[in-house]
Structure formats: C-alpha cells, structure tokens
Amino acid sequence: MSGKIVKAIKISTPNFLIVGGGIIGLSSALELARRGASVTVLERGACGSESSWAGGGILSPLLPWNYPAAVTNLTQLSCQIYAEWAGHIAGISGLDPEYRRSGMLVLPEFDSGRAMNWGRSHQARIELVQKRDRLPEVVGDGEALWLPDVAQVRNPRLIKALRLTLERMGVRILEHVEVAGIVAGGGRLVRLDTSVGPFEADQYVVAAGAWSKKLLGEQGVQVDIKPIRGQMLLYRAQPGLLRHIVLQNGFYLIPRDDGHILAGSTLEDAGFDKSTSEEVRSGLHANAISLLPQLAQAELVKHWAGLRPGSPGNIPVIACHPKIENLYLNSGHFRYGVTMAPASARILANRIFRREQPFDVSPYHWPEIKKH
C-alpha cells in the first residue's frame, strides 16, 4: 500500500431507482429487470402495504363501457397479458397470487344497449342474462349483465409473490427507506435524499401512489394526483357461498377461493386520512346482506381503508418529466391500479427504451404548465 488516499469507486451504480413498492413500483421493477436493467426499489414502509394491499383485485373497470379509450386501452392490454404475467410470477416465486377468471355479474341499473355495443366493438363478451339463472344465491330477480371473462387476483398474495420474484431476479428491495426529497440540476435528477442517506442512479421512476405529487414537490406542481379513500369489509364465509363477483350501483362483493368475501367500497376525498368510520361500516354491511343475506351469519373479520392515487378521468401519468430527462412517473391509476399494473409497466419500459408502443400513449403524458 502506498498510503495514497484513493476516492471510493462506485462499482455498481444501479441503473434505475424506483420510489414506491406498491403494485406499480414492483411491476415497473419486474419489467425493467426482464429487459436487463439493474433496479433498486426504495419503499418507505413494507412493500404493498398501502393501496395495493387495500384494493379488491378485480381485473376490470367496474362498468368498462363508461370509460375513455385511454382507460380501455390500458386495462384491456393488462387483461390480455395478466394470466401469463401472474403465471410467470407464480412460477418464479412458488406462491399463488390466485389469478381466477371468476366472472362478474352486473345488476341493474345499467344501460344494456351501451354495454352490449361496447362489448361488440372491444371483443369483450357481455351477455344479457336472467340473474336467477347465473347467481341464484344473490337476492333479486330480473335481467343482469354477465361478463364471463372478468378475472381477479388476491392482491396481498400477488404483492408477496411479486416481491419474492424480484428478489430472485436480483432486484434490490430496500424497505423502511423514505425518500424525503429529489434533487435536480442541469436538466437531470442527480440524487434522492432519503432517511438513510443519498441515493444516485442513471434513471429514476416515481411510483409513490397517492403520495407521488407530494414527493415530487416543485417538479410535480402540474401533476394532478390526490388521495381518494376507499373503505372495505372482509367476511369469512363458507367456500362456494358466492361464485362470481357481483356489482350493483358501485357496490361489489368479491369471493375468494377460501370463502372470504370482500365488500366495498367508498370513494372519499379525505386527504391523507386512512381512518375508517362506523357509519361506513354499517352502510357497507347493510349493502352486503341485502345482496347476500347469508353474510348476516358470516364473521366480519376486518374493516380497513386505503388511499387510491386519484387522477382526472382515471388516467395515470406514465411519462418522462418534460424538463428532467431521467425522471419518470408511473402513477395516478386511481381505481384500477391492480388491473393496469402490467400494461403500465410495459408502456413505461417502452418509453424508456424507445420501443414501439401498442397504442396511442399520448394521454399518459406528464402535464405541462400551460403558457399564456
């Protein structure tokens, strides 16, 4: 040793730093790692413990015919690739995310003409059926819309499987690391300041859900993402009591393999407050037993709230910052982030690696301040 002081050489600067370990951050990490990138995920708590845990896991918009093309394109691409995507994750992790094509029955009121037209023009099977033929266990008679291809995942299990898959693929996941600020200079992001010190990378992806705008600070003033609270109930019932997802006037029941049934949900503009209320609990419970009276005897095991990353028109931002060339945002998936995750990750990676996109992705641009 010569005694000369040598400056530390960084052997492996991660190519990508992703902020947020929800379904969007983790699926972005998977897509980037699959394309050969080196990826680190920074998560302030435990991965998937926010909205991605709180959600229901229905893989479809609730009434898909009521949404613009920007939502349809993203959700339909996801639905096309979900089975293979979930299978890949299950294969590597050895954990079953319970991807199931359980079908969804929509009870009145609905515009059947509009729904059937939409189904025909989007190659989505929608049938007008008698409710009693399809789901006799649910109260009421008359016509219903049957969407046989609607699937679901058990989102907490999907997150667990996804996290393990990423670790096995060599993605670094750092939990309990909070990003406190982003530092930009010369048209580039230069570092993230975190609770355990600074982090640097070549490229940065913010996927911090309802907190994305807060985290971006002055770099995100134009971004319109805000928390929208949703409360949910969970029952423990007999397996097979309810066979399909059922939806009426925005209220739904989702059956899981082991007999658990989720009942949700609310849409509340309450800021970053995740508390639950007794009033909502009894409202959701009343709705649940009016559809499926046997739930009155089932154990109500849990009541929770999560914060969706709300966005205008339910259209996320999947784009590069207009002035910071290495800062990307994948956020604002609002009511359908679990559904949109694999397609959003693909769109993001296509943008980053300048690959052809499967459809018009201009609606997911990073909004700029309008000049007068």
Where does this chain bind ligand FAD (CB under 6 A)?
19-25, 42-45, 49-52, 54-58, 178-179, 207-211, 215, 230, 232, 264-265, 306, 308-309, 331, 333-339
- Give the dihedral sign, CA 125/128/131/134: negative
How far is 37 from 169, CA to CA, in rounded Å? 11
- Identity of the residue, 113 or 272, whose beta carbon is nearer to ligand FAD in the bound complex: 272
Pairing of strands 203-206, 16-19: parallel
How far is 341 from 338, CA to CA, in rounded Å? 5
- Identity of the residue, 264 or 363, whose beta carbon is nearer to ligand FAD in the bound complex: 264
Q: How far is the CB of 234 from ligand FAD (least distance, A)?
A: 11
How far is 2 from 165, CA to CA, in rounded Å? 45
Q: How far is the CB of 125 from ligand FAD (least distance, A)?
A: 19
- Identity of the residue, 21 or 90, whose beta carbon is nearer to ligand FAD in the bound complex: 21
- Identity of the residue, 94 or 257, whose beta carbon is nearer to ligand FAD in the bound complex: 257
Q: How far is the CB of 349 from ligand FAD (least distance, A)?
A: 16
Q: How far is the CB of 331 from ligand FAD (least distance, A)?
A: 5
- Identity of the residue, 145 or 206, whose beta carbon is nearer to ligand FAD in the bound complex: 206
Residue 285 CB partners (closer than 8 Å, separation 6+): 233, 263, 295, 300
- H helices present in the chain, as ranges: 23-34, 51-54, 69-93, 112-121, 131-134, 155-168, 212-216, 278-291, 337-352
Q: How far is the CB of 142 from ligand FAD (least distance, A)?
A: 25
CA-CA-CA-CA dihedral for 86, 91, 96, 97, to nearest 10: -20
- Identity of the residue, 195 or 297, whose beta carbon is nearer to ligand FAD in the bound complex: 195
3-state helix, strand, coil split of the chain in percent (to 5) is: 35, 25, 40
Q: How far is the CB of 293 from ligand FAD (least distance, A)?
A: 24
